[in-house]
């Protein structure tokens, strides 16, 4: 057994078997709603992570199945309580559930607008979502659904601190996910950007790599040097020479192998390294850990896994809280910021 794996199993107590409704005053709570990527999987839904810090809640990315996992985690109470989404980039597997949460949360009681931050092009994408569902919104308002909360507000952001509220600070940084020439490594000149995020709260911190190929020049290194948790994507090459394997391996130029991620973990030495956005989704924890030459604490995330980042990092499983029958929930007309 790898020393890093043994350290993880003996140092992180798996104590938490129900969703934490709100993070402790000085901790950050994470719920992995989806740990997969573009390929469909019944075990790993599309990438999305719920972040809770004090009374504040937000999502990092909104992949396929996010709304359902969120509902599974906290029922209508959680579904209607989130009005902030951060997007690392604009691929469909990171954005497709934005309309589902925006409109479902509003339809079932949220009175505050949905706000989305992301890279260049985010505001345009959200404007298109609004245009696509304008008839839907008008229809529901006409038959009596409240108007408050149906707005979708979006901001294109640049690297740097873009959000500070009640002790929560969020910093964006560029990551290496734009298309390159596989022979030279040169960028191919496509417009746009891809981001990672660092979230700080009351002395606790978590870094999200976003999608990236992570080289020795990665901005992740600077931003994760003193982080409690570093969540990094990973892709293992497909074996063989079938057309499917060749197509699958096209994305190796914009994603990170276990060896590349190990180098990032080695440089940054987080209290805990975590794999998420796992390609292919059928990879097991054992396969990924055995392929990663890193002796620090390392964990492979699963859907509905939780982390509470405090003096200790506590691992748990979400689900079983909240109300799943709308007429039995107390979510309409509640006071919201």
Res. 85: pLDDT tops 70: yes
Res. 301: pLDDT tops 50: yes
Write down the pLDDT at residue 24.
Answer: 56
Burial class (CB in 10 A: 0-12, 13-18, 19+), 232: buried
pLDDT tens-digit series, residues 180-232: 777 777 777 778 789 999 999 999 999 999 989 888 889 999 999 999 999 99
- Helix spans in 61-164 (H): 66-79, 92-95, 98-107, 122-132, 134-142
SS3 260: helix
Comparing 119 with 215, the larger pLDDT belongs to: 119
Least confident of 81-85, 174-178, 193-197, 292-296: 174-178
Q: Judging by DSSP bridges, how do beta strands 272-279 and 152-156 pair with one another? A: unpaired
Res. 166: pLDDT tops 90: yes
Write down the pLDDT at residue 178.
Answer: 65
Token pair of 230, please? 């570093």
Residue 334: pLDDT band with limits 50, 70, 90: low
Residue 327: pLDDT band with limits 50, 70, 90: very high
pLDDT tens-digit series, residues 18-38: 333 344 578 999 999 999 999
Residue 4: pLDDT band with limits 50, 70, 90: very low
Tokens 């294109």 correspond to 156
pTM here is: 0.91
Domain limits, the chain: 3-65+159-326
Question: Region 244-267: what's the mean pLDDT?
Answer: 92
Catalytic site includes residue 93: yes
Task: Report the topology of domain 3-65+159-326.
Answer: Metallo-beta-lactamase; Chain A (3.60.15)
Tokens 């997969």 correspond to 36
Token pair of 168, please? 């929560």
SS3 239: coil
* Catalytic, out of 26, 61, 81, 93: 93
Least confident of 12-16, 93-97, 259-263, 311-315: 12-16
Q: Are 82 and 336 in contact (CB under 8 A)?
A: no
Mean pLDDT for all residues in the chain: 90
Residues 245, 232: Cα–Cα separation, whole Å: 23
Residues 254, 35: Cα–Cα separation, whole Å: 18
Residues 70, 33: Cα–Cα separation, whole Å: 7
């Amino acid at each position: 057994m790898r020393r890093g794996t043994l350290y993880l199993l003996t140092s992180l107590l798996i104590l938490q078997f129900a969703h934490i409704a709100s993070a402790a005053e000085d901790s950050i709570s994470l719920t992995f709603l989806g740990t997969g990527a573009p390929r469909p999987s019944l075990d790993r839904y599309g990438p999305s992570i719920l972040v809770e810090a004090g009374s504040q809640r937000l999502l990092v990315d909104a992949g396929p199945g996010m709304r359902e996992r969120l509902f599974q985690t906290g029922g209508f109470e959680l579904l209607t309580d989130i009005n902030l989404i951060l997007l690392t980039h604009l691929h469909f597997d990171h954005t497709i559930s934005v309309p589902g949460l925006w409109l479902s949360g509003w339809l079932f009681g949220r009175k505050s607008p949905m706000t989305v931050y992301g890279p260049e092009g985010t505001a345009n994408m959200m404007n298109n979502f609004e245009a696509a569902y304008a008839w839907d919104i008008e229809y529901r308002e006409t038959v009596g659904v409240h108007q408050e909360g149906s707005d979708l507000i979006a901001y294109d952001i640049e690297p740097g601190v873009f959000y500070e509220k009640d002790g929560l600070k969020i910093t964006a940084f560029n990551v290496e996910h734009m298309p390159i020439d596989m022979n030279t490594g040169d960028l191919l000149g496509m417009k746009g950007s891809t981001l990672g995020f660092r979230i700080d709260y009351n002395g606790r911190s978590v870094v999200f790599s976003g999608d990236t190929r992570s080289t020795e020049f990665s901005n992740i290194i600077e931003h994760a040097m003193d982080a409690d948790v570093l969540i990094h994507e990973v892709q293992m090459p497909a074996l063989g020479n079938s057309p499917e394997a060749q197509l699958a391996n096209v994305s190796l130029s914009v994603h990170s192998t276990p060896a590349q991620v190990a180098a990032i973990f080695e440089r940054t030495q987080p209290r805990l390294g975590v794999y998420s956005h796992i390609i292919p989704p059928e990879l097991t924890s054992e396969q990924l850990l055995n392929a990663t030459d890193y002796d620090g604490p390392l964990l492979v995330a699963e859907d509905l896994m939780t982390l509470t980042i405090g003096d200790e990092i506590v691992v748990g499983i979400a689900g079983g809280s909240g109300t799943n029958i709308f007429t039995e929930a107390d979510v309409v007309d509640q006071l919201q910021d």
